[in-house]
Structure 1
Amino acid sequence: MSLATLLNGGLITRAVAAINSTATLWRRSRPSDASWPAKELWAELNQKVHGNLSKVDALFASCVLDQNSAACLDVKKNIRNPFYIGDQAGGTQVSGWLNAWRPEPSAYAIKAQTSADVVAGVNFARENKLRLVVKGAGHSYQGASNAADSLLIWTRAMNKVTLHEHFVPAGCEGIIAPVSAVTSEAGAVWIDLYNAVTTEAGRYVQGGGCADVGVAGLIQSGGFGSFSKGFGSASSHLLEAEIVTADGVLRVLNAQTNPELFWAIKGGGGGSWGVVTKVTLRTFELPEYFGAAWGKIKANSDTAFQRLITHFVDFYASQLFNPHWGEQVSFAPDNVLAISMICQGLNGQQAKQIWREFYDWVHASPNDFTIISELGAGESHARNWWKVDGNDSMIPDKREGAPKHHGWWEGDQGQVGAFLHGADSIWLPAALLKSEQRKQFEDALFQGSRHKKIELHFNKGLAGALPEKIFAATNTATNPTVCSSFALVIIAGGERPAYPGLATSNIDVDAASKSAHQVDLAAQALRNIVPNAGSYVSESNYFNPDWQQAFWGENYSRLQAVKKKYDPDGLFFVHHGVGSEEWSSDGFTRLVAQS
C-alpha cells in the first residue's frame, strides 16, 4: 500500500481518533445492521415519493446472470453512450479508478420528480442514519455519485428548462437589476441548456464543455467551459438556487437570502451542501461566430520537439493569451503536439490570420516536423454550435425516445465508461508566461511529456480573461488561484470500460499501476516549478493528501464554517468534500466527536 493510499484511506486519522477518544464511534446503518429500516418504513417512503423508490441494480447486473440476455446485450450496445449511462440508476460516467473506487449500486434510489420527493428522501436518510448519495447525471470521476449500502437521491428526471427575459432573484428587487436568465432543474445536462438558450433562443449561457455533464453539479464544482476566458466561470453567473439542506428544508439561495450557503455552492464542491433542485443562471448576448483551430504535428526528434514546445509557448503568450481563445493543446511522449482550440468573438478570417504564422513556421521545417493531421482554423455560426443535426463533430443519441437535441462531442468519446489508472490537475500561474520564466516552463513540459501526455486546458484558467469576469470569480468558493492562472494542466491514464460484471472488466493491474506512476511523474515535473499550485476539484488526483488547500486554498476555513452551520451532522458526504476529513473513507463512520 502506498503512502498516498494510506493517508487517503484515513487509517492514520482513525488510529488517532481511537487513541484520543473512548467514546463509541458514530456509524451509519447498513442493510446487515439491526438498525436498518424495516420493510414497512421503506414502503412508507415509497408512498411519500409517489412510487418512485426502487432497488438499484449494478449497470451490468443482467450480464452476471447471462451475457447473452436481451438486457445484457442492450447495456453492451449502449455503454459508450453517456446519456444512456446517465439514464440508469446504477450508472456512472466512468467505470472506476485503480485502487480508489469501483461502481457500487445504492441499496435504494428515489427517482425524484419534485423537490418534495427530495425532502422526503433527505428526512428519511437523516432519521434512519443512512449513507446518502446524490446524483444527477453521474459524471463524477471521483465516484461521488455512488456508494454501496446507501440511499440515492437521483434528480435525473427533474430536467425542466425555463427562459426568462427579466429575472430578479427573490428579495433582490431594487437591489439587482432585471437580467435575461435561464432556470434549470437539477437533472438537466448542458446540452439541454445550450439547446434552449443558444440553438432556439439565440443567447449564450456559460456552462460546461462536455454536453452530458449535469448543470447543477458543474456549478457546484466551479464550472469551466470552452469560452470561460470570454464569459467567466459558470458559478460566477449563478443568480439563484433552490436546495434541500440536511434538516429537510427547501431553501432559496441568492445574494440576499442565505448568502453564505449561496457562496458555498458556487464552487464549493458538489454533494457536500444538500440536494440542489434548481439553479438560475444569467444569459448573455451570443457572439455571431464561434471558431476553432486544429491539427497534429509530430516532431521527428526530441530536439525538434523542444523547439516546437518553445515556439508554441511563445505563440500562445503573444497571440492567444486573451479572452478569445480556450480549450486545449497536448504534448505527448511520442513528440506529438495536438491542437484542439476554440475561440469566440472572432470570424474565420481572423482566426486563420492568427494561426498562419505558427503553421507557416511548422511547414518551413519539413525535416523536423511531420503533419499527421491537417492544420487549420475556421468559424461556425454560434447559434448552430450545439445543434446536433448536421454537426460532424457531435455524436447523436439515436435511442428511440431520446431528445432530438441530445448528442455528445466526438472528442469526449474516449472518457465515456473509461477506467482510470490515475489523473491529476495543476493550475499554472500566468507568471510562467513571462520571458524570464518561460524556459523553465518549457523544460518542464518536455520533461513531463516523456512520461505521459500533458494537456493544457486554457479555458480552465481565468488569467487573460476580461477583468470583470475575473472579478466575478473572486466572489465564488473556487480556489482563488484560478484567477491568476492561465491554464489547467490535466494528466490522465486509463483504458476501456471495466464495469463490474462486464466480461472484459479484468484489469492488468501491473500495467495500470505503471500508467498511474507515469501520471505522477509527469505531474511532478510541473509541480517542481509550481510546488504550491492549486488543483481543480472535479478533475483532480483522488489521492491528493493536500486536497483542502489544493481545491479551495484560503476559502477552505470559510467553507468549513458554512458546512457546520447547514450540515453539522455531516449527512452529506463525498470523497474529499468539505468536512469529509471527519469521516472514514467510505463515509459511514464519524472519526471526530461532535462538539
Structure 2
Amino acid sequence: MNRAHFLKLTFTLSAAICIPRSLFAGYDTKRFLHKRYRPGDSQWPSEKSWTELSQKIKGRLIKLESPFKDCKSETKNQSCEKIFNSIKNPYYIGDDPALTQISGWLNAWTASVSVYAVRAEDSGDVAAAVNFARINNLRLVIKGGGHSYQGTSNAPDSLLVWTKAMNKVELHDAFIPSGSNDQAPQKAVTIGAGAIWMQVYNAVSVKGGRYVQGGGCATVGVAGLIQSGGFGSYSKNYGLASASLLEAEIVTADGEILIVNAYQYPDLFWALKGGGGGSFGVVTKVTLKTHDLPAWFGIVSGTIQAKSDQAFKKLLEYFVAFYSEQLFNPHWGEQIRLYSDNRLVIDMNIINLELQQAKEIWKTFEEWINTNKQDFTWESPLNVALLPGKYMWNAEIIGKYAPSAIVHDDREGAPLENIFWSGDQEQAGQFWYSYHSAWLPGQLLQKSKHESLAQALFAASRHWTVGLHFNKGMAGASSSVIQSAKNTAMNPSVSQAFALAIIAGGTEEGPVFPGVSGHEPDLERAQRNASHIDKAMKELRKVATNTGSYVSESYFFEPDWQQSFWGSNYIKLHKIKQKYDPDGLFFVRHGVGSEGWSDDGFEKI
C-alpha cells in the first residue's frame, strides 16, 4: 500500500426483516450433513433447481467459467492477451466474478472459479442464495472487492454470492440506529457491501465534504475491511474502521435479513466489528460514522542510505527514539520500510498539523542525518508537503498536479473517478510467496527497549524487507480511540501496539497465474523467497512474542490462529458463531468456527 508517488503534490427498521417463506415454496429446512456436495455428486442440484433459483432472483444467476480457458494451451491468442493486458487494472478484476485481486499463494491456494454466482442487487437476492446453499448443502463463498490475501473470497465447486452491484453510498445528516430510544442523531454514511473505498471517498469526501475512516488501499471492499477490523492511513486519529460501525444489514444462515447495532442483536453486531468476514453471515450494507473533513492532509517522504551495517544499526536505534519522542501520537500514520541494502524509506502521512509544525518536528532528524555524512546519505531528500483535505481523493486535481500518483481505469467509458493509487497496482494479479504480520507492543518504545528493538529490526532486514505500519496499531492514539478499539472483536493486542510489522513478498513481474502457460510463477524462486520472509519474521518475533497478527494481513499457515487473530475474544466469537450459524454454512478457512471443517470447507471433521 505504498503511495509514495503522492509526494509530488505540494499543496428504520424493526429487530428483524424476514424474507417471506412463500418465496421458497417447495424448500425444506433440513440441516447440513457432514459433507457439502460438489458437481458430479448425485445430490448436486439439478439443472431444474438452478433454473428455479434463477427465476426467483430475476435471472441474476450466472454460470461461471475461467477467463483463462483459452490460455491453457495457447497464450498468444488475442482474447488471452487482452485479459493479461487488463488484469493490472483492479476495476477490471472487480467487474468479473471469476477473478480475484491476488492469484494465489505458494503451497497454499490458487484462485478458483465458482460453478455459479448470484449477482446480488439487494438483500433478497442474497437471502435466496443463502437458502439455496443451505438446503442443498453447498459450499458458499462471498465476494465484494475480492481483495482477500488468504483466498477466502473464492473456492472451486461453490456457489458465489457476488455483492459488487450493491454499491450505493448514501450520506445522512442525522442518523439514528434502529431500536434506539436515546441515541443522539449522528452524521453518517450507509454503504452497500459491494462498494470499494475509492468510491466511498469520492462520495463522502470529494462530493460530500466529510471524512469516513476506511482503507488506505482504496480498491479494497468496504464490507470485508469493516469485518476484519480495518485500518486507514489516519487510524491513530480516527480509530479502527470497524469502531465507526453504527449499524449493519446482514443475511444470516437461516435466510433472515437482520438490522444489527448496539440495540438490536448486539452480540452479532460486536462480532462484525473485527470478527472476520464471511463467518457470521453475508453483510449487505454498513452504516459508518463520518467526521469533519480536515483542512489538510500531509505526507513525509525520504530515503536514507546507510554506508555500513553498523551505521544502519545506529540509524534504526535513532529512528526508534525519534519516533517514540516525536511521532508517537495521532498526527502520524503509514509506514517506514527497511531494506537489506541498509536503506530506510520514509513514507508517512500527516493529519491536523500545519506545514511549518510538521517541518519543525522533522528538523532534528534531518539535521542528525546531515551531521553524520560519514555514515549516511540522502538517496532522496526529505520532503514534507500538505494537501487540502477536499482534494485528497479528487481524481481531476490529482491527475492535473500529480499524475504519477494515480492510475486511471483505462477501459472505454470508465468514469473519471475510477482511480487507484499507483503503488497499489502491483497487487493486481500478484502471487504471494509468504506474508507475515505482528503487532509491536508499545512497551518496545521505552528507552530501555530501543536497542533490542533496533537489533531485531536489523536482523530481520538481513533476510527481507521489513515494513512498520504505524497507523495499524492504536497505542499513541487518544484514550477514546483506544477505548473504541477495545470495544471491537479484534485481538486486544491492537490497542497496545504502536505499529503492525509486515514482512511479505510476491511476484514483481506479472500478472502471474498458476496453471496458465507463459504466465506461471517461478516456483523455485518463490520457495527461496518464502524462506527468507519466514526467517525475517522469526527474528522480529524475538521481541514481539505472542502479540498476534492482523487477520487480513497474516500468515496462511498460522499455527495458533485463534489466539493470533483474536486472542481472548475468540471464545466469545465462537459462541456467537454457534448461536447464529450452528451448522457452519458460512465457512472461511481460519475463520471463527472453521476448526470443525476440513481446510477446503467441504467436510466436517
TM-score range, shorter chain: over 0.9
Aligned twin of 2:469 = 457
Aligned twin of 2:187 = 180
- SS in structure 2 at match of 1:359: helix
TM value normalised by structure 1: 0.93
Q: Give 1:403's match in structure 2, choosing from 415, 425, 430.
A: 415
Distance in 1 (alpha carbons) for counterparts of 2:566 and 2:455: 28
Aligned twin of 2:457 = 445
1:42-89 deviations in whole A, cap 9, x for unaligned? 001111111111111224223236534443232112111111111111
Aligned twin of 1:219 = 226
Q: Give 2:37's match in structure 1, choosing from 20, 29, 34.
A: 29
Distance in 2 (alpha carbons) for counterparts of 1:502 and 1:587: 25
Distance in 2 (alpha carbons) for counterparts of 1:359 and 1:181: 41
CA contact (8 A) 1:219 1:265 kept: yes
Q: Give 1:538's match in structure 2, choosing from 552, 558, 561.
A: 552
Shift, 1:501, TM fit? 5.2
TM value normalised by structure 2: 0.92
Q: Trace 1:107-122 onto structure 2 (pairs within 5 A).
A: 107-122=115-130
Q: Trace 1:180-579 onto structure 2 (pairs within 5 A).
A: 180-391=187-398, 392=402, 393-495=405-507, 496=509, 497-500=511-514, 502-579=516-593
Query: Is the counterpart of residue 590 in structure 1 residue 597 in structure 2?
Result: no
- Paired AA for residue 451 in structure 1: H
374-383 vs 477-486, which deviates more?
374-383
Distance in 2 (alpha carbons) for counterparts of 1:436 and 1:387: 45
- SS in structure 1 at match of 2:349: strand
The verdict on how the C-alpha distance between 1:57 and 1:363 changes in structure 2, with shifts beyond 3 A counting, is farther
Aligned twin of 2:83 = 75
CA contact (8 A) 1:63 1:501 kept: no
- SS in structure 1 at match of 2:248: strand
- Paired AA for residue 387 in structure 1: N
Distance in 1 (alpha carbons) for counterparts of 2:525 and 2:329: 40
Distance in 1 (alpha carbons) for counterparts of 2:368 and 2:171: 47
Shift, 1:298, TM fit? 1.3
Q: Give 1:52's match in structure 2, choosing from 48, 52, 60.
A: 60
Structure 1 moving runs of 4+ over 4 Å = none
Shift, 1:170, TM fit? 0.5
Aligned twin of 2:8 = none
Aligned twin of 2:26 = none
1:16-49 deviations in whole A, cap 9, x for unaligned? xxxxxxxx98110000100000000000111111
Distance in 2 (alpha carbons) for counterparts of 1:571 and 1:374: 54
Shift, 1:524, TM fit? 0.8
- Paired AA for residue 189 in structure 2: V
- SS in structure 1 at match of 2:367: helix
69-78 vs 481-490, which deviates more?
69-78
Structure 2, unaligned runs of 5 or more: 1-31
1:103-144 deviations in whole A, cap 9, x for unaligned? 110011111111111010000000000000000010000000
Query: Is the counterpart of residue 156 in structure 1 residue 156 in structure 2?
Result: no
Distance in 2 (alpha carbons) for counterparts of 1:64 and 1:52: 29
- Paired AA for residue 550 in structure 1: S
- SS in structure 1 at match of 2:374: coil
100-109 vs 404-413, which deviates more?
404-413
Distance in 2 (alpha carbons) for counterparts of 1:218 and 1:475: 17
Q: Give 2:104's match in structure 1, choosing from 96, 105, 109.
A: 96
CA contact (8 A) 2:168 2:192 kept: yes
- Paired AA for residue 223 in structure 1: G
Distance in 1 (alpha carbons) for counterparts of 2:584 and 2:142: 14
Shift, 1:436, TM fit? 1.0
The verdict on how the C-alpha distance between 1:504 and 1:297 changes in structure 2, with shifts beyond 3 A counting, is farther
The verdict on how the C-alpha distance between 1:25 and 1:156 changes in structure 2, with shifts beyond 3 A counting, is closer
CA contact (8 A) 1:331 1:453 kept: yes
- SS in structure 1 at match of 2:417: coil
CA contact (8 A) 2:514 2:521 kept: no
Shift, 1:416, TM fit? 2.0
Q: Give 1:140's match in structure 2, choosing from 148, 163, 169.
A: 148
Distance in 2 (alpha carbons) for counterparts of 1:93 and 1:436: 42
Shift, 1:400, TM fit? 2.0
Aligned twin of 2:48 = 40
Distance in 1 (alpha carbons) for counterparts of 2:430 and 2:371: 39
- SS in structure 1 at match of 2:70: helix
Aligned twin of 2:13 = none
Distance in 2 (alpha carbons) for counterparts of 1:378 and 1:160: 33
CA contact (8 A) 1:240 1:253 kept: yes
CA contact (8 A) 2:104 2:514 kept: no
CA contact (8 A) 1:359 1:375 kept: yes
Give percent identity, aligned residues only.
Answer: 53
Shift, 1:440, TM fit? 0.7
CA contact (8 A) 1:388 1:395 kept: no
CA contact (8 A) 1:93 1:416 kept: yes
The verdict on how the C-alpha distance between 1:66 and 1:52 changes in structure 2, with shifts beyond 3 A counting, is farther
- Paired AA for residue 374 in structure 1: P
Aligned residues: 567
Calculate the aligned-residue CA RMSD, in Å: 1.3
Shift, 1:374, TM fit? 3.0
- SS in structure 2 at match of 1:390: helix
- SS in structure 2 at match of 1:319: helix
461-470 vs 66-75, which deviates more?
66-75
Shift, 1:212, TM fit? 0.6
CA contact (8 A) 2:250 2:282 kept: yes
CA contact (8 A) 1:96 1:418 kept: yes
Distance in 1 (alpha carbons) for counterparts of 2:180 and 2:69: 50
CA contact (8 A) 2:75 2:518 kept: no
Distance in 2 (alpha carbons) for counterparts of 1:72 and 1:347: 50
Query: Is the counterpart of residue 130 in structure 1 residue 138 in structure 2?
Result: yes
